[in-house]
Amino acid sequence: MTPAARRPEAKRLPGLRTASHLVLTGAVPAAMLAVMTGLIWFNAYAFTVSTLSALKIAIGVVPTAAVLGSGLWVLVFKGDKPLPGVPVHEHEHPDLWALVRGVAAAVGTAPPDRILLTADANAAVMEDTRLLGLVAARRHMTIGAPLVAEMTAPQLAAVIGHELGHYAARDTRFSAAAYRSRRAFVHTLTVLNRDDYLQRAMHFLLRHYGLLVVRGSANLSRRQERLADEAAATAVGSAATAAAFAALTSIAATWDLFRRDHLRIAWDQGFLPADAFAGFRSLRASLGDEPIEADEPDPYDTHPPMHERIAAVEALAAPGELRILPGEASSLLRDPARLLDAALLDGLEPEARAMRRADWTALVRLHVLASLAEPLVAANAARALGRPPTVETLLDALDAGLLEELGTDPDAPQGDPPRVRRERARVLVHKGLTGALAARIDAAGGVEWAESWPFPGAMRSILADPLAALVDAAVADRPDTSRLRALIDSVERLQGRPQNIGTAHRGEDPRTHGDAQGGERPRAVVEAVHGGRQPAGADRPDPAGGPHRQPRRDHPRPAGHPRG
């Protein structure tokens, strides 16, 4: 009796399922081919009967056949787009290649022909396929730079083992083909060019069918994911695989946050971080195990929930066939910092390559000073007093009772009541004055810039009093600018002694290289936080303002308040 014949009935079902999946993915092209052939044949036949009728028929048939034909071409023969990423050559990075080859051998499939390092927080194996995945050519592996930066070598091996495990044909002899065909199918759906009307028509035809196929084979997909997980665990061990999966979620979520809120903090000023991945590491460390909101689920994603996958992998208690030296995954690369940075740049807009680099505290400084600046107030001050818009000009204008002139906003609604007009000016001038002061104090060396993850940084000044209170006094209805003027004097005296940290403006002798006098820590003038948000904060990032969501009902009143 052959081993296959001894299999219980249930065990044969996956084979049927994968086969039917292949039929499903192939059904559309087959039907399209049949319809197109039928139409052409019918039209050709018509020509043999009556040329005039055949011409009339051709008016309808030719465009239809053209849509079907071009769609078929796209579906079946469309070449794969070039993959993103930076090539990792074997002769330059033999350690990583040795790991990948070892894992491929352990899971029982061929190693990739090419490895690319990408700016995404995932890994993948792709093949150049034809005929909806039935024919495979070159195999490519992409590895996300964030994984290399944050994982240990065994964890990275587990991720690679999972991806290669999909091609290991552990389930049925169809499973690798089914995996390939599903990927090719989804890939085709996502790469169809919506600007091209023929391809758009194809997308329209296939959109719902595609979801049907992918969701219809969800059980199959989950089964294949589990088998790929098993392959990884068998190769590198349950412990490393479970740890890798746990890290994967947090790395991906943190990477999204990092790319959105941190990487670009000084982008507008033309700067990128000198060491982006050091910042990424600090961010991830600062977030701890705080849950980060997940992105919208991808309708084509059929992975089981991560906690189930981790539990299943741990239950295997696989010791691992490969011996992988512990240590950071980045140590598998030669000059990892340079290569990781190249991968990061690869995922950014082309202008990023020309940008200057600065360390995190310098980026924080650039960002905070830029976000505090209020050019409108400076322009108003220059116009009102006919002088360059220095801090002194602003203060002189406030002393002269020109608050509303300084805070004129040409874009504000006309016809504000008096208090509204005045408060609008006050808020604007407060900001403008704070920005001008921050720049001035910073220029005199009176600001400490610090990293402050999960926010990128904080700004601490040498001032004994919070700046905000002094600015409040300056923009009050009866302005008092004397304390700010004294502050500027004292700060200017510090210039050239940038190490001084103390309450120098009180006329005391600041000590060098130490804390503020009496052990007093420098106070935070502005806990400057860039556009990022607190992952677990109480505030939603953009609080709703008006009473209603509906724009037509939105109005400036806080209330629709019943009375009567």
Partner 1 sequence: MDPTVNPAEIIPGLPDIPAVDVTRWGMPPMEALSTDLSRTVPAVAAAVDAVRAGDWRPAAALLDRSYGDWAMRAVAVHALGEAAADDVRWLEAWKAAVGGRDRNLAVVEAHGLCWLSWKLRGNRPDATARQQEAFHTLQMRCEEVAQRAASLAPEDPTPWLTLIIIARGRGYSAETFTSIFRELQTRDPLHRAGHEFALMYWSESAVSFEPVLAFAERAAAASPTLAFLLLQAAYDAEDDFEGVWQDPRVRHALDTILRGLASPAAAVGVYAASDRNWAAYALVNSGRGAEAVPLFVQLGTNASARPWEDFGPDAVVVFDAFRRRACAAVRT
| Six token digits for residue 407 | 């805070």
Identify the CA nearest to 252 among candidates 363, 108, 143, 122: 122
Tell me the Ramachandran region of residue 490: left when phi exceeds 0, alpha when psi lies from -120 to 50, beta otherwise: alpha
Looking at beta carbons only, is 6 or 557 nearer to partner 1? Answer: 557
- Concatenating the DSSP letter of every residue in 81-99 gives PPPPSEE--TTT-HHHHHH
Looking at beta carbons only, is 496 or 551 nearer to partner 1? Answer: 551
| Nearest distance from C-beta of residue 530 to partner 1, angstroms | 15
| Nearest distance from C-beta of residue 476 to partner 1, angstroms | 12
Identify the CA nearest to 229 among candidates 244, 219, 216, 218: 244
- Is 259 in contact with 525 (CB distance < 8 Å)? no
Name 10's Cβ contacts closer than 8 Å, sequence gap at least 6: none
Looking at beta carbons only, is 81 or 419 nearer to partner 1? Answer: 419
| Nearest distance from C-beta of residue 538 to partner 1, angstroms | 5
Asked if 476 interacts with partner 1 (CB under 8 A), we say no
| Nearest distance from C-beta of residue 110 to partner 1, angstroms | 48
Looking at beta carbons only, is 235 or 425 nearer to partner 1? Answer: 425
**Interface of this chain with partner 1, residues 401 to 430, rule: CB under 8 A:** 409, 411-413, 416-420, 423-424, 427-428, 430
> What letter does residue 326 receive in the DSSP assignment?
-
Identify the CA nearest to 104 among candidates 168, 194, 188: 168
Round to whole Å and give the CA distance between 382 and 432: 13
**Interface of this chain with partner 1, residues 359 to 378, rule: CB under 8 A:** 376
Q: Tell me the number of residues near partner 1 by CB under 8 A.
A: 42
Looking at beta carbons only, is 82 or 551 nearer to partner 1? Answer: 551
State the alpha helices, DSSP H only, in 386-417.
391-399, 403-406
Looking at beta carbons only, is 233 or 425 nearer to partner 1? Answer: 425
Looking at beta carbons only, is 429 or 437 nearer to partner 1? Answer: 429
Identify the CA nearest to 141 among candidates 116, 165, 121, 118: 116
Residues 333-362: b if buried by 16+ CB within 10 A, e if exposed: beebeebbbbbbbbbbeeebeebeebebbb
| Nearest distance from C-beta of residue 199 to partner 1, angstroms | 34
Looking at beta carbons only, is 212 or 412 nearer to partner 1? Answer: 412
| Nearest distance from C-beta of residue 546 to partner 1, angstroms | 4
Exactly one of 162, 183, 431, 440 binds partner 1 (CB under 8 A); that residue is 431
**Per-residue x/- mask for partner 1, residues 525 to 554, rule CB under 8 A?**
-------------xxx-xxxxxxxxxxxxx
| Nearest distance from C-beta of residue 542 to partner 1, angstroms | 7
- How many C-beta atoms surround the C-beta of residue 363 within 10 A? 28
The residues of the shown chain that bind partner 1, judged by CB under 8 A, are: 376, 409, 411-413, 416-420, 423-424, 427-428, 430-431, 538-540, 542-564
